[in-house]
Structure 1
Amino acid sequence: MNLKDIKLKKIIEILSLIFTLEIVISFILSTYNPPYQDLLIKLDYLSIMFFTFEFIYNFYYIEDKTKFFKDVYNIVDAIVILAFLLYSLQLFYSKAFLGLRVINILRILILLRIIKLRRLKENPELINFLSLLIICFISSCLIWIAESDVNPAINNFFDAFYFTTISITTVGYGDITPKTDAGKLIIIFSVLFFISGLITSLQKALKGE
């Protein structure tokens, strides 16, 4: 890879971070039912167009094409791009497919890209903080989708984030409780994932890794 390609790759990485942050902000704002919801979706389209370009670019320049699809992030990107393509073409015209709920699910899939931020080997404390933040953030997005229509205590993203954080950290004040089976399952798996991460970290610490 020559110097020009290296610079282009750096630019793509920076833009990828910017567009991922756009998706994060877009999701949070959408939970407050803003009057500019259509604008957020248009910005999401712009982000998806960039992710599509990035996906094609990375696939084109990688030598081992089979290795490309062994990366879970690339698989997630492929699913998101395909789903948004179907959404754009309106191949399956129904309220369920064209609803805002579907858009938010696709946003959550894109948010999985922020897990890449954990690749900061020189600062394990920062890695742990980001890992917990990512778990809470994505779980909060799922909780909001599952609970917002039926749970009067969860009206926006902040409510969902507050509930998810105190649940995962096992504080549990009890002022908010899940009303749906989906919400209960999300919290169960989030807490188990968090606990398993603590156990793994403790085992590594005891081994001196």
Structure 2
Amino acid sequence: MPNTFRKTLQFYLIDCKTALGKIIDIFIIILNLFICLLLVVETYPVSEATRQLLWQLEVVIVIFFIIEYVARLYASQNRLRQLGDVYSIIDLIAILPTLSVIFLPLIGITLDFGFIRFIRAFRTFRIFRFLRFAADGDFFFGSITPQLLKVTRLFLTILMIFFISSGLFFYVESDLNPNVKNFGDAFYFTVVALTTVGFGDIIPLSDAGKWVTVLMILSGIILIPWEISQIVKEWMRMATKKEAICPKCGLRYHDEDASHCKSCGQVIYQEYDGG
């Protein structure tokens, strides 16, 4: 167990096996879900009181994001590297839109309608925060196999493409397109476009909407097949392996004719047909 506050903090921010580590993971996942849900709900007609409540909830959640960001930076052994880490950049993307709306007016910068819409559209990228939880196969509920981890990443890739595309399409089209009234309409268009069904009842009317459509289709035809290829490669690789758990390091799969663990060198005992 770490014996300094900094090391303890770093331990629990990446731990998913102890009770406290599991609680932190679950809490962060819930915050991620809520921040994405808030973006969806605010696209529907709601009262001004409800809209204010949604904004207050967003501020509270972003405060927790800031605490997490600062904690990870403080606990890191190499803070400069931590700043450039892809997950830190994603965390910063989740924080900056709300901070911009709060603090820019305080320093005399007037936020016009176009800038506010840009900030709102930028918030769709907060869904990238879920990537941190698919970095490896260890979760708060246990560990999953490499094959299942790749399937999880495929699901996340599809979810992110649909969510980001729908959010961006809504924010660039909703003012001009009478058929795009809320996130649900934008999501419907995204599904129709990416599955190449093409009903034609909703089409992009603005140049920005057309570019978002092009980018969403390109993302779909590039990222989804790539993730599927990773799953196929993993299945093909595992087809040449045999399950024999190393008693020393716990490595589960080894080559069919292996007599020693390739990770730690421990002798492993498994039956195989010699050639």
Q: TM-score range by the shorter chain?
A: 0.7 to 0.9
| Correspondence list, 1:14-25, <5 A | 14-25=26-37
3-state DSSP of counterpart to 1:143:
helix
State the TM-score, normalizing by the size of structure 1: 0.86
Q: Secondary structure at the match of 2:178?
A: coil
User: Based on CA coordinates, which of the two structures has the bigger radius of gyration?
Assistant: 2
Alignment of 1:130-149 (within 5 A): 130-149=156-175
- Cα 1:198–1:13 change in 2 (3 A) is closer
- TM value normalised by structure 2: 0.67
What SS does the aligned partner of 1:131 have? helix
Q: Deviation of residue 154 (structure 1)?
A: 0.9
Aligned to 1:68: 82
1:116 maps onto 2:132 in alignment: yes
1:115/1:172 CA distance change after superposition, 3 Å: farther
Q: Provide the aligned C-alpha RMSD in A.
A: 2.6
- Cα distance 1:13–1:153, how it changes in 2: closer, same or farther (>3 A)? same
1:1-209 mapped onto 2 (5 Å cutoff): 2=2, 5=9, 6=12, 8-35=20-47, 36-89=50-103, 90=105, 91=107, 92-96=109-113, 99=116, 101-102=117-118, 104-119=120-135, 121-123=146-148, 124-201=150-227, 203-204=229-230, 205=232, 208-209=236-237
| Residue identity in the other structure for 1:73 | Y
Encode CA deviations 1:152-204: one digit per residue, 9 max, x unaligned. 11111111001001211222221111111111111111111111124424654
Instruction: Give the Cα–Cα distance (whole angstroms) in 2 for the partners of residues 44 and 172 of structure 1.
Output: 35
Contact 2:124 2:164 in 1 (8 A): yes
- Distance in 2 separating the partners of 1:188 and 1:98: 23
Taking a change above 3 Å as real, the CA distance of residues 175 and 97 of structure 1, as seen in their structure-2 partners, is: closer
- Partners in 2 of 1:37 and 1:47 — Cα distance? 15
Alpha-carbon distance, 1:66 to partner? 2.1
Q: Distance in 2 between matches of 1:60 and 1:191?
A: 40
Gaps of 5+ in 2: 13-18, 138-145, 238-275
Q: How many residues align?
A: 208
Q: Which amino acid aligns with 2:226?
A: T
- Counterpart-to-counterpart distance in 2, 1:24 and 1:82: 15
Contact 1:167-1:191 within 8 A present in 2 as well: yes
Give the letter aligned to residue 158 of structure 2: L
User: In 2, are the aligned partners of 1:12 and 1:54 still within 8 Å (CA)?
Assistant: no
Offset at residue 97 of structure 1 (A): 7.2
Q: Post-superposition, which runs of at least 4 consecutive aligned residues in structure 1 deviate over 6 A? A: none
Which whole-Å CA distance do the structure 1 matches of 2:200 and 2:61 have between them? Answer: 38
Give distance in 2, aligned partners of 1:13 and 1:98.
Answer: 33
Larger relative CO (CA 8 A, sep 6+): 1 or 2?
1
**Higher helix content, 1 or 2:** 1
Letter in 1 for 2:110: Y
| Structure 1 Cα separation of the partners of residues 205 and 61 of structure 2 | 33
What is the percentage of aligned positions where both structures have the same residue? Answer: 32
